[in-house]
Every structure is written in structure tokens, then in C-alpha cells.
Chain A
Amino acid sequence: AQTVTQSQPEMSVQEAETVTLSCTYDTSESDYYLFWYKQPPSRQMILVIRQEAYKQQNATENRFSVNFQKAAKSFSLKISDSQLGDAAMYFCAYRIPYTGANSKLTFGKGITLSVRP
């Protein structure tokens, strides 16, 4: 079974600085998708960034980028120029690209990021 591990329950960063959130996963599949979701205090789940395993290039979305190491099964999220609005819980998630019963998303336990002004 696929598992997603976020070993750091909490992190803190100074406003305007850079922070990296770690995630590792375990799978026997060669093709899959990885995601980072953000959950602010409003509880809404917001997709931050997505990475397809077959792509070697790391995904970027404005201030958010990933470091995808397929051999190491590592998928970290880097937030540059941290802003107060980045304070939230962040979840790493994994999914395989099959239809039907295997289409579910598996989540890590999450990491709470606080941003110091």
C-alpha cells in the first residue's frame, strides 16, 4: 500500500524568508502524481502545486516550487519570500493515474506552518 510521510508536525519561518517542507512516500508504482495542498484556518483545501512523476522538471507555481527526487521518493515544497498568508497546514498527497477503484488520493498527516512577522 502506498504511504505518505510528513515527519515534521510543525515549522516556523520568518516573513520574507524561505522554508522547505519535507515529504517522503512509499510506492512500487513507476507512474504517479504528487500534490501539496494548503489548508488555512478557513478549513478549505487548496491545491498549491502538482508534480507528475514522469516529468523530470520540478514544478513551480510563483513562490512555490518542489524538489522531486524520484529515486529517493522525496517530494519537498519550498516556499520563497514567505508571507503571513502562507500560515496554514500543508498536506502532501499521492495518487496513481488509474481509473476506477485506485483513483483515490492518499495524504500525509500534515505540517503546520507558522509565519513570524
Chain B
Amino acid sequence: NAGVTQTPKFQVLKTGQSMTLQCAQDMNHNSMYWYRQDPGMGLRLIYYSASEGTTDKGEVPNGYNVSRLNKREFSLRLESAAPSQTSVYFCASSEQGEVGELFFGEGSRLTVL
């Protein structure tokens, strides 16, 4: 079972460069999420998509954009990367309505120089 797949796993960027983190899930979940994890801060929600065609800002959306391409895929884009965006990024998915756990990808470590 693939579950939630994120790419790339590691990326180094220079300040001002752009990049897109890709996420796909094969569990037919409606809801998808992007979190960032920083030391001492836990996981903070960047954006989420409750269902295909909808996206909403989370706690720390500045500097990011998202696209819910279809039910399976939810991408996170950094248009002009900044050192403050150096972090580990997690994509997750869950079933809507019936509250269950979030299923996470393996994380993507992004370093912005």
C-alpha cells in the first residue's frame, strides 16, 4: 500500500527560487493537508483541502500556494523561497466526516540557502 506519497524527499534551494512539492494519496480520501514541522514548534498547518475543488488557509499560509489538482493530488508551491521556509513538510490525508486519523507522507526536507 502506497498510502500518501510525497516528492521530493529532499531539496536545496537558493533564496528566490521556486519549487513545488507534490503529494498524492491512493486511499480515496476527501481531505488533504500540508503541514510544516520546525524544531520546538510541532506541526503547523499551512493549507488544507476539505474536498476536491476547495482549499483553505491554515495557520501559516504566507509564502505558499496550493493546488488540489484532483481527488488524489494536492501540491504545495513556494513561489519565491526564503530561508524562513527551511523546514520539513508533511502532506496528509483523511476521510471527511467520519473522524479518523490523518495518514501522513514521509516528509520532505527543504533547505533554503
Residues on A facing B (Cβ under 8 Å) = 6, 9, 33, 35, 42-45, 47, 50, 91, 95, 97, 99-101, 103-110
Contacts and interface: CB of A to CB of B under 8 A. Distances in A.
B97 A44 contact: no
**What's the dominant secondary structure at chain A's contact region?**
loop
Contacts of B54: 100
Given A9-B40, A107-B43, A108-B42, A101 B101 contact: no
Contacts, number: 57
Given A9-B40, A108-B42, A109-B40, A103 B106 contact: no
Nearest to A96: B99
A97 B99 contact: yes
A94 to B, nearest CB: 11
Nearest to B102: A105
Given A91-B42, A104-B45, A109-B42, 13 more contacts: A6-B42, A43-B107, A44-B104, A44-B107, A45-B92, A47-B101, A50-B100, A95-B99, A99-B50, A100-B50, A100-B54, A100-B96, A103-B99
